[in-house]
């Protein structure tokens, strides 16, 4: 076992408490549910997808900025589209990810990453005329730039959105 200084221990404990607090305030949008690791499988968040446009060096806030809100949209590798919104809410970040396939009843595996760590994952089912589902979560607003990645997959189709906030 590695020896840990009191300061290191307190830092690790503080991070663990922040994650626990973030997980206790999770909310789920229509048609989205959390899933166990067995149901999700080995979901990788690497691969292609959209990122900030070339020349965007202001933390992702250019284009789609509505006050303190950043909205990014894009096309998936198939016919579906994705939307990712991030804004501040009571000192935290409110994150909304949406998949719109225009086909009701599709099941998508999704994951939400915050600064490289998986914040949550689950399965969403598209509903209604729009054939879409939405995931909403609140995460800790860390010092500096927060990178939020929303990724969803279905039958080989990959949707991936990134916001640097």
pLDDT recorded at residue 10: 52
CATH number of 27-164: 2.60.40
Task: Identify the pLDDT of residue 120.
Answer: 97
pLDDT of residue 35: 38
* pLDDT at residue 56 greater than cutoff 90: no
Q: What is the pLDDT of residue 164?
A: 96
In this structure, the strands spanning 65-66 and 117-125 are: unpaired
- CA distance readout (Å), 149 to 5, 30, 89, 90: 33, 20, 18, 21
Note the pLDDT tens digit of each residue in 17-38. 444 444 433 333 434 444 333 3
At 70-88, the pLDDT tens digits run 999 999 999 999 999 999 9
**DSSP-derived pairing of the beta strands 157-164 and 81-89:** unpaired
Give the sign of the dihedral formed by CA 98, CA 135, CA 48, CA 68: positive
pLDDT band, residue 46 (cuts 50/70/90): very low
Banded model confidence at residue 58, pLDDT cuts 50, 70, 90: very low
Which pLDDT score, from 0 to 100, does residue 165 have? 94
* pLDDT on residue 22: 43
Distances (CA, A) of 60 to 101, 131, 136, 137: 25, 28, 20, 19
Q: What's the pLDDT tens digit per position in 107-125? A: 999 999 999 999 999 999 9
Residue 130 DSSP label? T
How many helices (H) and strands (E) the chain has is answered by 2, 10
Distance between CA atoms of 32 and 109, rounded to whole angstroms?
Answer: 10
pTM over 0.85: no
3-state secondary structure of 139: strand
Does position 8 have pLDDT exceeding 60, yes or no? no
Q: H or E segment at 1?
A: none
Residue 66: CB atoms within 10 Å: 9
State phi, psi for 9 to the nearest 5 degrees. -60, -45
Mean pLDDT score of the chain: 74
- Are 97 and 31 in contact by the 8 Å Cβ rule? The answer is no
pLDDT of residue 63: 40
């Amino acid at each position: 076992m590695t020896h840990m200084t009191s300061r290191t221990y307190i830092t690790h404990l503080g991070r663990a408490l922040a994650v626990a607090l973030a997980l206790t305030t999770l909310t789920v949008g229509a048609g989205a549910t959390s899933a166990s690791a067995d149901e999700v499988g080995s979901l990788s968040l690497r691969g292609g997808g959209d990122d900030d446009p070339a020349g965007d060096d202001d933390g992702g806030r250019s284009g789609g900025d509505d006050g303190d809100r950043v909205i990014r949209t894009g096309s998936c590798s198939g016919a579906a589209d994705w939307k990712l919104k991030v804004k501040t809410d009571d000192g935290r970040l409110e994150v909304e990810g949406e998949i719109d396939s225009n086909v009701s009843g599709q099941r998508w595996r999704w994951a939400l990453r915050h600064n490289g760590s998986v914040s949550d994952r689950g399965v969403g089912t598209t509903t209604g005329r729009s054939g879409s589902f939405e995931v909403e979560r609140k995460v800790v607003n860390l010092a500096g730039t927060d990178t939020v990645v929303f990724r969803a997959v279905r039958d080989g189709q990959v949707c991936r959105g990134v916001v640097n906030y």
